[in-house]
Amino acid sequence: MLSRTAEYLYWISRYMERAETNARLLDVGYRMSLFPNPNGYNNEWESVLAASGAIQGYKNKYDIIEQKKVEDYLFFDEDNPSSVYNCILNARNNALVVRTSFTPESWLAINKTYQEILKLRNNNFNASDLPNLTEWTIEQVNLFRGSLSSLLRNDGYNFLYLGLFVERADNSARLLDVKYFVLLPKPQYIGGNIDNMQWSILLRSLSSFNAFRWAYDGNVTSTKIADFLVLNSDCPRSLSFCIQNIVKHLTNLTCSPEKVTKIYNTLKDLNTKIQEEKIESIVDFGLHEFVTQFIHKISSVDSDIQKEFFN
């Protein structure tokens, strides 16, 4: 497999994953905007922007933060490199270059999505259309992931999944972090009802609300949710699940065993630690600190993969 092909495959699934995360984030903002807005909380749309890493770009463009503009910026805006539109556009342009490493089904899944978002973009949408846009995005991304099952289980497949889980690990970690430090700026709210309500919204945004109910008995507590999203390897969005899958698809690569081993060695400790760790000790250590370390680690794995395989 060409190095360039591997790189493009890796980025296609990163972009598709990112499109979904951004659509889900918008949904979080939308849900929160339907609840009364108590003092001490930041504007929910500002937190959504922060979580998406788009706040600076947004402020360069607009003076005030309001729903319609945020929706537009995160969904359709060409100036926002992570807008759902740009993610789909980039994934599609990458797919165009590597469609020989794809099955016709997976190319169709991406290209149809692209053709449809071009149409959506030309229709003026209302603020209340947002749930439909989110739903559409999730559907399209699922279509793409489903089509991957038709691929040969070769290195291309593993690079696609490496991209997917590196992106998801990063996104899940950032969402967790935003919940702690953007949504709840005042420590006295931690553990309160509103706090739990927001954790529930976080679960919904990660498509894990019902799953959480089935995985844990009794009351919804922030510790249980943190356990679910950080350590529970049954949860397909947890940090633990992501890291396990990064290891799995990395070690499944058949090319360049010495490079694989090199990257695996840098990941081994984190992988072991996350399997054995208890949530209580993470909370004692500080969830924010833990998550920050995690994000750094993922980012260095990402640059190792790029350096070793794509150059």
Residues at the contact surface with another protein, assessed by CB under 8 A: 1-6, 93, 96-97, 99-100, 104, 107-108, 111-112, 115, 155, 159, 253-256, 309
DSSP annotation string for 47-85: HHHHHHT-HHHHHHH-SS--HHHHHHHHHT-TTSTTSHH
CB-nearer residue toward another protein: 155 or 170: 155
CB-nearer residue toward another protein: 42 or 103: 103
* Closest approach of another protein to the CB of residue 255, in Å: 4
* Closest approach of another protein to the CB of residue 92, in Å: 9
* Closest approach of another protein to the CB of residue 156, in Å: 9
Q: Which helix (H) or strand (E) holds 115?
A: helix 104-122
CB-nearer residue toward another protein: 113 or 238: 113
**Pair 237, 168: CB distance under 8 Å:** yes
With both helix axes pointing from N to C terminus, report the angle between 130-147 and 84-97 in degrees, rounded to the nearest 10.
20
CB-nearer residue toward another protein: 2 or 190: 2
* Closest approach of another protein to the CB of residue 8, in Å: 11
Written as one letter, the residue type at 212 is: F
* Closest approach of another protein to the CB of residue 254, in Å: 8
CB-nearer residue toward another protein: 70 or 164: 164
User: Alpha carbon of 43 to those of 62, 94, 137, 183, 185: distances in Å?
Assistant: 15, 36, 25, 8, 11
* Closest approach of another protein to the CB of residue 172, in Å: 27
- Tell which residue, 62, 58, 103, 59, has the closest CA to residue 82: 58
**Pair 307, 3: CB distance under 8 Å:** no
User: Alpha carbon of 184 to those of 38, 51, 76, 121, 176: distances in Å?
Assistant: 11, 13, 28, 34, 12
CB-nearer residue toward another protein: 6 or 203: 6
DSSP state of 189: G
CB-nearer residue toward another protein: 215 or 255: 255
**Pair 159, 11: CB distance under 8 Å:** no
* Closest approach of another protein to the CB of residue 99, in Å: 5
Residue 83 gets the label, from left (phi > 0), alpha (psi -120 to 50) or beta, of: beta
